[in-house]
Amino acid sequence: MEIRNIANLLKSTVSISLFNKGLAGKIFDDVKKNGTKIVIKNNVPECILISPEDYLNLIEKIEDAKLYEMAQERIAQDNGKRYSQKQIMEEFGISEDDLNEEEIEFE
């Protein structure tokens, strides 16, 4: 591990005891400003603090990765068959008038 990475890791750690000393607000501000913090309890990582924006970005990336994986599985299993809108509408008994109605209830 590079020295710079170790220094960055040390800068990103915070002792859980600082929360007991009333410094939570300062820690949260630092997370918003500088990014992730690793909360240490008894010299062991207890949790990771990230900003709400970073959390939402992370969740979005996870969802995108799952969708990509699903798409890759579907591509691998593709049998080449395609259906037109007309074929689908006939199969499910849907008319053009049904599509023009305000509400369509699918089961």
Alpha-carbon gap, residue 16 to 41, rounded angstroms:
6
Alpha-carbon gap, residue 33 to 30, rounded angstroms:
5
Alpha-carbon gap, residue 73 to 21, rounded angstroms:
51
pLDDT for the residue 101: 77
Return mean pLDDT, the chain.
Answer: 89
> Is 3-51 a CATH 3.40.50 domain?
no
Report percent pLDDT > 70 for the chain.
87
pLDDT for the residue 97: 86
Q: Is the C-alpha dihedral spanning 4, 23, 17, 59 positive or negative?
A: negative
Report percent pLDDT > 90 for the chain.
71
pLDDT tens for 28-65 read: 999 999 889 999 999 999 999 999 999 999 999 999 99
Alpha-carbon gap, residue 16 to 42, rounded angstroms:
9
Give the pTM. 0.61
